Amino acid sequence: MNELEKTQIVRLVLWNDVSRENLLNGYALLKEINLSSPNSRKLLAEVCFLLAKSYLSSGETDQARVYAQESLALYEDLEISSLKSAEPVLSKHLPEIMHEGVVKARLGKLLRSDES
């Protein structure tokens, strides 16, 4: 399977069910490929963001921090500079726009505790 096929599978599965199991499977699939397109990297950033929120909601802050940091790093690398490019791939499960500022605002507590 190529990058496009794998990202489409991840997108389709997660569109209907963002259970932690599906998020972890999608994460593993995306990490297997060379994410050359910005949309693929954005999808991985979104999966990391959703995993961080999932782990945080169950009190697993160390695991949440790992995914929050990866999501932030991916968004920083994407350098989103327009509303169009800030539209999430998994829009059904995320805020209207996604960029590094949203990650910092929603998961900043996790990110700050690592900086101290």
pLDDT digits (tens, 9 = 90+) for 24-77: 999 999 998 878 888 899 999 999 999 999 999 999 999 999 999 999 999 999
Q: Give residue 81's pLDDT.
A: 77
Q: Give residue 115's pLDDT.
A: 45
Domains: count for the chain: 1
pLDDT digits (tens, 9 = 90+) for 72-113: 999 999 988 788 888 888 888 888 888 888 898 888 888 875
The parent domain of residue 33 ranges over: 3-115
SS3 content of the chain, % helix, strand, coil (to 5): 70, 0, 30
Give the side-chain half-sphere CA count within 13 A for 85. Answer: 12
Q: Give residue 47's pLDDT.
A: 96
Judge if pTM exceeds 0.75: yes
Residue 58's φ and ψ, nearest 5 degrees, are: -100, 10
Cα separation, 8 vs 89, in Å, equals 10
Across all residues in the chain, what is the average pLDDT? 89
